[in-house]
Structure 1
Amino acid sequence: MSDPTHQAPHPHHYFDADAGPVVRPYAMTRGRTSSTTVHHRLDLIALVVAEPDAGHPAHDQSLSPEHVEIVERCLESSQSIAELAAGLDLPVGVVRVLVGDLVEDSLVHVTRPVPPAELPDVSILREVINGLRAL
């Protein structure tokens, strides 16, 4: 016999009201783990720069809210993949796929930092500074 004082838990008992809607990362990327058109690797320190003619991405109905947020953040200033992932609270892999989509749509472009092997030697820079001081 059931106890009339015992109430069944509310169906939403286990959900946090402040969490808002929860979307799984694979849903944001439609199950993709990489972008099909971005041929270069999107390193954590690769900088994402919004194209000058990106306009107002919020008006583009084909973009997800995450795509729009990435473009808007990069319109203010260029940001690395790692900064975007941290700022959006998304896994880096998801951000890479989303940025790849935006590169394909010509809304952003990615610049890679100069590899350490291509940077000038510190001793050469010191010699240049010393030479300038001697003038």
Structure 2
Amino acid sequence: ANFNYLQTHMHSPSENTVNGVHFPLEMHMVHCSGACELGVDRFAVVGVLFDVGADDLNTAATRAMDALLEKVAASSGSLSSAVDMGAFLESDSGIYNWDGSLTTPPCTEGLQWLLQSAVVEIRPDQIDKYFAQIG
């Protein structure tokens, strides 16, 4: 099946764990087939875990996170528009893959989960800015 990008959202702390460890932030990039109707179409979520790195990190991921946080602050359009979402994906990372469900009600089952095994480091100020924006 072909999947189309639907939306991006974040959770803090992470909903998924690695070896029982939660991370400060987790991004879900939701994709669906067809018209994105729950119970009818197929859904897949690409998950990325974030941890706190050095104050002076300047990577493609930190630049993309800056752009994403600016869009959240402005509440303008899709979170992924004009943001290089691929910057959060590590090409040489493994993927945890399982069949699951949505993590929010109605917790619809039949969802394909793909969680990147590589944890992406972002700056402490980016974590702080995220928390400030969500209250």
User: Under a length normalisation based on structure 2, what TM-score does the superposition of the two structures give?
Assistant: 0.26
User: Under a length normalisation based on structure 1, what TM-score does the superposition of the two structures give?
Assistant: 0.26
Pick the structure with greater CA Rg: 1
Which has the larger strand fraction?
2
